Amino acid sequence: MVAFIILAVLLVTAGVGVITLRQPVHAALSLVAGILALAAIYVTLEAHFLAAIQVIVYAGAVMVLFLFVIMLLNVGRTRAASLKWLKPAAWVTGALSLAAVVTVVFVVQQPLPEFAVIDAALRGGNADAVGDALFTDHLLSFHLVGVLLLVGIVGAVALVQQTVPARRTRQGVAQQEPQDAPELVAAGEGN
Amino acid sequence: MVQTEYYVALSAILFALGGIGVLTRRSAIMLFLSIELMLNAANLAIIAYARQWSAVGAQHALDGQAAAFIVLAIAAAEVAVGLGILVAIFRNRVSTDVDELSEVRL
Amino acid sequence: MNDLVQLASLAPLLALAGAIINGLFGRSLRGNAPGVIASLAVAAGFVLSLIAFLGVRAGGAVRVRFGDFLVAGDLNIGLGFHFDQLSVLMMLIITGVGLLIHIYSIGYMQGDDGFSRYFAQLNLFVAAMLVLVMADSFPLMFVGWEGVGVCSFLLIGFWYKDLKNASAGRKAFIVNRVGDFGFLLAMFLTFKAFGTLDIQAVNAAAPSFAYGAAILTGIGLLYLLAAAGKSAQLPLHTWLPDAMAGPTPVSALIHAATMVTAGVYLIARTGGIFANAPSAAATVVWVAVLTALMAAIVAIGQTDIKKILAWSTISQVGFMVAAVGAGAYWAGIFHVLTHAFFKALLFLGAGSVIHALGGEQDVRKMGGLGRKMRVTGTTSLIATLAIAGVPFLSGYFSKDAILGALLTSSPLGNYGGQILFALLMVTAGITAFYMFRWYYLVFAGEPRSSAEYERAHESPAVMTVPLGILAVGSVLIGYVGLPAFLAPNAIQEWLAPVMAHVDFDHLNTSAEWMLLLGSVLVAAVGLGLGYWVYVIGSGELAKRIGNTPLANASRGAFGIDRLYRGLFTEPGEGLAEGVASLDRDVVDRGLTGVSGAVPLLGRLLVLLQSGYVRAYAFAMVLGVLALAVVAALIGVLA
């Protein structure tokens, strides 16, 4: 319980930081902290494998990518605000929907199974168990995700490719019109 | 053991925060960060319920975690492509202000 | 013989043909051709009426049926004409006097833009009036009734470009409408009571109905309403003075000789009903006498040469209606006959004066014209004496007949017959007075306006010849109705087969002589009074009289027009204005508001398209939340 509370506080703080910090790098690092906290929470939820993956993929790759782009684009200061009504509206909407969800979750309670039953039935969330599930029950989804990643790679490369400078056009020799010399000479003699 | 409701509440908080961030932040990158936050919140909810319903059968837990795994992969792909788009758009502009993209009229 | 009589059915058709020819092609006809065509049509009608008259004289009433008119359920009305003594007499009046007026009009309407239109409408009127008197059933009579109403409207507003004339025509039509409403209700009641709308059948069945039954009285009163509308009796008389806006020959034909007598004809025709509903008949007489008295008083104060004659017509028609109400149907028709002559003559004479003076109608600007317009002056004098009741002229005999009827009518005795007799005697005296005034102010004495006097000239022959013929008629026609105790009363005997039976007291010979002399006395008093005021007293006495309250009431026609204006016209206009503003402000604004709402809506929607991604994102968030709420609710409810 204590662990949960500490981690929860950490996570929420990180979330708030993401959305309020002015400097983009600060916000990105705040998200990293949040991801790490989230990984710890996964552990408490008996999803150890996923926690590891979270750290490796999310914190290690995705956030690094973010930081690269932030530095690449030199995200600068913001201009004068338009849509002034949006900030308060967003906060209000967020608070209200949060309150609604929390109410629903805590008030409309389904009878949940006992803790002891859960603990015994769960098989530890370790790598080979999840891998088994992925490669047997969810094989199609797994492969589709692979294709999706491939598409993502290709798309990303295509997006950032610089436009190829146009080649200077030159007329091919075969297209040149043949001209007879005597006519040229005759035209010249006419002068 | 902490009850599932708390995890779900936490997920809701994070999701709401992410949503607010999407609407409030004006830089495109910050927008994206908020979206990632939302995705993570969703993942948390999935895994929390996965543990919950494992009481009915261990398979449910593994299904939930596999789903979370796939969501993770999709998030990664989405980040790649999304940031690529952002780079493509904002390469030639001075600022990354989303509001300046107001030519998009539905 | 029957066939010859039936030939008279062509008369309205000929008039109608004349109307159509003039109406469609009149504009392209040269010169007086439209007038000649119209006159020929009416002349042919006169000849046919004459033939019918002789035929009926020889062989009695003739009926002809052309087919079905209205057949529905229990109702079976045929299209047919009924030629009996009464209808052929009316036909002769209509076509005879009508012919003279048509010929006169050729001269009067010379040079007018609407020359052919005038004759088309005049012919149409003759056709409708003939149908009215020839009809054998109430609905067909109603067709003619409405037809003359329409033609009256058209002809009153003949010079429609002037709004006053058009308004006068409209007023005539609307007031007539009230009467028509009475006619319709009477028809409905008649059908309910008798099961048929055939005139002869109704008259035959009436006596076997309970005497004085309520339904008979109701029918009678409704027919009185109809007659009041058409014949300009109280309370529906207000249209006739305004109708003088039309051309003068129109006033002569329609508003003196024929249309205004349609009401008299109606009551005479339905004599069977009135004879068996004494209270209705008495109402008729009271209305008529009061009208006659009132109109005579008003006529004294008028200054327009035609308006004096208009009020005089109202008064004289009151005499006729009183006669038929009292049960002396023949006397009323007799006065119709004589009045047609001398009133038409008076109007045509007035028209001659107006024509000569280039449109002047104010008698205060006339005077002494008799010296310059000999024929007009002389014939007008004859007519004046006739209407005043001077002995040996036509008016004397017909008026005497009416007065005698009022005194001796047996059913009328219960309802104040003697009072009515006295009132009508007084009215006769007043008639003499104002007619003297009319003649004197126009034709005699010194000219009051030298400009007008200089301009005056006698009218062309086409106008003066009809005047002469009518003058002869005004003198001689009275002899068809000599008092019964002196000589055979031709017209009473002629109409006897058609008239319903009403009891009359018998006066002994000395009483009869007293009556005759009394009429002479009354006429003499009236004329003498006129002479005294205008000739001997010249201007001063007339002016003094003119300032009395009675004179003011006379000039303002007892304020009845103003009363109607306040009671009906202004609320009606207010209602119309209210509805119009409702239409303008509510309906129109509502419509433009609806059509204005669309751009408004569009402008609102445009606000959504700000182009800002974040705004769109917010919209998506809201949408998702809404969906979530709906899903949750479904989940909860299910």
Domain ranges of chain C: 1-134, 137-555, 558-597, 606-638
Can you give the three-state secondary structure of A120-187, one letter per residue? HHCCCCCHHHHHHHHHHCCHHHHHHHHHHHHHHHHHHHHHHCCCCCCCCCCCCHHHCCCCCHHHHHHH
The reply to whether B43 falls in a domain is yes
| Tally of domains within chain B | 1
Concatenating the DSSP letter of every residue in C447-483 gives -S-HHHHHH--PPPHHHHHHHHHHHHHHHHGGGGG--
Q: Give the B:C interface size as CB pairs under 8 Å.
A: 29
- Option in B34, B73, B91 nearest A145 (CB): B73
Domain positions in chain A are 1-75+97-126, 138-191
User: Residue B106 above 50 pLDDT?
Assistant: no
Give the tens place of pLDDT for each residue, C579-605: 988 888 888 888 888 888 888 888 888
Chain C residues with CB-CB distance to B22 below 8 A = 614, 617, 621
Report residue A149 CA to chain centroid gap. 12
Domain A1-75+97-126 coded CATH 3.40.980.10 = no
Q: How far apart are the first and last CA of chain A?
A: 107
User: Residue C2 above 50 pLDDT?
Assistant: yes
C130 vs C74 pLDDT, higher one: C130
Rounded CA-CA distance C44/C38 in Å is 10
Q: Compute the CA torsion angle C34, C37, C43, C48 (nearest 10 deg).
A: -130
Give the tens place of pLDDT for each residue, C398-436: 888 888 888 887 777 777 778 888 899 999 999 999 999
Cβ <8 Å between C614 and B26: yes
Provide the ipTM: 0.87
User: Residue A29 above 90 pLDDT?
Assistant: yes
Chain C residues with CB-CB distance to A83 below 8 A = 610, 612, 614-615
Residue B65, C-beta contacts closer than 8 angstroms, at least 6 positions apart: A47, A49, A50, A125, A130, A133, B47, B50
Chain B residues with CB-CB distance to A101 below 8 A = 8-9, 12, 16
Lowest mean pLDDT among A159-163, C193-197, C496-500: A159-163
* Best residue of A4, A18, A64 to probe chain B, by most B CBs closer than 10 Å: A18
Rounded CA-CA distance A139/C53 in Å is 120
The reply to whether B40 falls in a domain is yes
Give the tens place of pLDDT for each residue, A51-100: 999 999 999 999 999 998 888 877 666 566 667 777 888 888 888 888 87
Residue B78's CATH number:
1.10.287.3510
The reply to whether B65 falls in a domain is yes
Task: State residue C110's pLDDT score.
Answer: 84
Give the tens place of pLDDT for each residue, C160-180: 888 889 989 988 999 999 999
Q: Give the A:C interface size as CB pairs under 8 Å.
A: 19
Give the tens place of pLDDT for each residue, C216-268: 888 889 999 999 988 888 888 888 888 888 899 998 988 777 888 899 999 98
Give the tens place of pLDDT for each residue, C132-154: 999 988 999 999 999 999 999 99
Cβ <8 Å between C618 and A97: no
Answering whether pTM is above 0.80, one says: no
The reply to whether B100 falls in a domain is no
3-state secondary structure of C298: helix
User: Residue A122 above 70 pLDDT?
Assistant: no
Contact status, residue C132 vs residue C144, Cβ threshold 8 Å: yes
User: Residue A173 above 90 pLDDT?
Assistant: no
User: Residue B105 above 60 pLDDT?
Assistant: no
CB contact, 8 Å: A67 with chain B? no
- Other chains touching C, judged by 3 or more CB pairs under 8 Å: A, B
One-letter amino acid identity for C97?
A: V
Expressed as residue numbers, the domain containing B50 is: 4-95
Give the tens place of pLDDT for each residue, C469-507: 888 888 888 887 777 777 777 778 788 877 777 777 777
